[in-house]
Structure 1
């Protein structure tokens, strides 16, 4: 196995959100379809994904999955990235990102890892299968 720290930046190209039916006294929940372009760093490519969101006066959270297609750490293929965040007013958000086990294809088969995803940034500690396969 080969280990590597992956850092990349991205832009959100499409953010198509729909709120769910409101619940009296409850937070707003919704769904988002998104596309991204990874532009700089150790990931170059594009992603499509889905997100569910909750936002209210007591806090906010989301969870998402996106299929990334392109090059990561010099290897070509695809993988599914899952990420989430929660935030309570007056505090910093708590974030997490990880590669869905078994989701890598091509030279990214067998890749695993986790870290964080912020506004426009990805930071993961990953492990590649040495031969590019699981």
Structure 2
């Protein structure tokens, strides 16, 4: 079964830990983040915990993250790992992406696949549910 979902979430935790400052002048700082979310949409409700890596400078920024989402998707209970990221900078187009990590689905979500984006407290995802 194919499904498009727009799943709003709240960011409950964003605990950032900066990496040591770069020694090169103008080098952007990097860091690590522990995160937690609550999804409250019709198609997806549940919670997530995960980690992100960040880079934020004057001329560009980027992040990559993985989170384990546990809850109900289209009436099916289980969990899956969502991998997502974005990058932007001077003179380049902004890129945003998200995907279900292959083989990460559990319970009634085993075999789940999907791609989309995460932006402005909204997960937009086109998924294929097993069976």
TM-score between the two structures when normalised by the length of structure 1: 0.91
Q: Which residue of 1 aligns with 2:47?
A: 46
Kept after mapping to 2: 8 A contact 1:6/1:73: no
Q: CA deviation at 1:6?
A: 1.6
Q: CA deviation at 1:129?
A: 1.1
Alignment of 1:24-103 (within 5 A): 24-25=24-25, 26-89=27-90, 93-103=94-104
Q: Which residue of 2 aligns with 1:107?
A: 108
Distance 2:90 2:38 in 1: 30
Higher mean alpha-carbon deviation, 96-105 vs 32-41, is at: 32-41
Q: CA deviation at 1:93?
A: 3.3
Q: Which runs of 5+ in 1 are unaligned?
A: none
Does 2:10 correspond to 1:6? no
Q: Which residue of 2 aligns with 1:22?
A: 21
Q: CA deviation at 1:73?
A: 1.5
Q: Deviations over 1:17-74 (max 9, x none)?
A: 0000011321010000000000123110000000000011120000000000001121
For the aligned residue pairs, the C-alpha RMSD in angstroms reads 1.3
Distance 2:95 2:42 in 1: 23
Distance 1:38 1:69 in 2: 9
Distance 1:91 1:39 in 2: 33
Greater than 4 Å deviation, 4+ residue runs = 89-92
Aligned residue-pair number: 129
Distance 2:101 2:85 in 1: 13
TM-score between the two structures when normalised by the length of structure 2: 0.93
Does 2:118 correspond to 1:117? yes
